[in-house]
Structure formats: structure tokens, C-alpha cells
Structure 1
Amino acid sequence: MKKKILAGLLTVSACFALGSTSFAATAPTTTIDPTPVSNVTSSPTYEEITIYMDSGEQRYIPGVLRELIYNDGAIILHENGWVSAVQYGAASIFAYDASGNIKAFTILVDRI
């Protein structure tokens, strides 16, 4: 009787062992392909900024490259990025940074 019980237990344990290995063998395997952080790029941003100035006032416009789009004589854009308000009017300046981001500045000069 003991031999039959022992044989039955061995049979059951063998079935469990074979069953668990077959499940492990059929499980799908996936590999993660991480993208290095240096290869991640973002698209340039665009931002509109309105600046109110009085005649005679000066402000700095940040950016690597500044481009004067419109000026009705209201400002003087200096090469170093400073803007001098000289008379009543408006002007538009695009400033680019090293990452290609664009800031569009609208400068409105008021009378004193």
C-alpha cells in the first residue's frame, strides 16, 4: 500500500514538474530596446511675447539670432540684443535660440 501511495505521489509530482516547465517554455519573451536620451529630439517651440515700452526706455531681447520683421521707426535694434524705444509706434522681432526655438516679440512704444 505504501508503495502504491509513493508511486502515486511521484506520478503527481512528475506531472506538475512537466506541466510547469512546458508553461515556462511557451511564454513569449520580449526585449526592451531603450532609446538613448541623446537621440531624443523635440520639435522647436514658438512663443509670442508683447512688450510695452515708453519712449527712451531700453530692454534686452534674449536670443542667439534676432531678426527685425517690422519697424515703423519706434525702436532701434542694436547688434548686442538691446532695443531702444525712440518714438510712438510698433515693431516685431523674431529671436531664435541655439535649439531652434522661436520667440516673436511685438514691441509697442507709448508716448511719454
Structure 2
Amino acid sequence: MKKKILAGLLTVSACFTLGSTSFAASAPTTTPDSTPVANVATSQEISTKGTFDQIIVHMDSGTWRYIPGFLELIFNDGAIELYEDGWVRAVQYGASTIFSYDQYGNIVAYTILVDRN
């Protein structure tokens, strides 16, 4: 049984090897279009387009806080309630993470820790 499987695998690999070389020999060679150096962004320019900051917020249960930007709730264990208008209400002891995006590509990660009363 093992010999049949081994023979089958060798046959399949031989077919791929023979097939790939015949296609490689007939493929036309072309050169890609070149881009002028003035239009290529450097790594320094790319890195300054957006920033990433992290802010840790301590809140007591029942308090409110406004977070600006387009918000995405990443993690919540029931500690907060996030409203569509950007307001956050601390509900109970726990933690949550919210990402806030702005139109310039900046991201702020808010880690909200609701303290015990």
C-alpha cells in the first residue's frame, strides 16, 4: 500500500515538473512600466500620514465621557455602554477597548477601565 502511494506521488510530481518547464520556455518576456522617482513615496512620508496613540481612561461606575471620531468597539466585557453619538457610560467593574478614527488616518485606542466603587 505504501509503495502504491509513493509511486502515485512521484508520478504527480513528475507531471508538474514536466508541465511547468514546457510553459516556462514558451512564456514571453516583458519589462514592467517604470515609475518616475518623483512619484514614489518614501517610507518617511508614508509613516507621517497617520498616527496611533493609546489612552488609558479610568472611570467610576455611572460616569460619562465623550470620545470624538468614528468609533469601533473592539472589546467590552460589560463594563461600558457605547452610544452612536460618541458618549460612553461606565456601567460596572471591568474593561473595554474602543478605536477612534479620524479623517486624517489617525487612530486612538481608548482602553477604558471601570474602577470598583
TM-score w.r.t. length of structure 2: 0.59
The 4+ residue runs of structure 1 with deviation greater than 3 A are none
Are 2:45 and 1:45 equivalent residues in the alignment? no
Unaligned runs of 5+ in 2: 1-44
Are 2:94 and 1:89 equivalent residues in the alignment? yes
Q: 1:74 aligns with which of 75, 79, 84?
A: 79
Whichever of the two has the greater Rg, that structure is: 1
Per-residue deviation, 1:89: 0.1
Instruction: Say whether the 8 Å CA contact 2:81–2:89 is kept in structure 1.
Output: yes
Instruction: Say whether the 8 Å CA contact 2:57–2:111 is kept in structure 1.
Output: yes
Q: Which amino acid aligns with 2:73?
A: L
Match of 1:62 in 2: 68
RMSD: 1.4
Paired residues in the alignment total 72
Per-residue deviation, 1:62: 1.4
Instruction: Say whether the 8 Å CA contact 2:71–2:99 is kept in structure 1.
Output: yes
Quote the sequence identity (%): 61
TM-score w.r.t. length of structure 1: 0.61
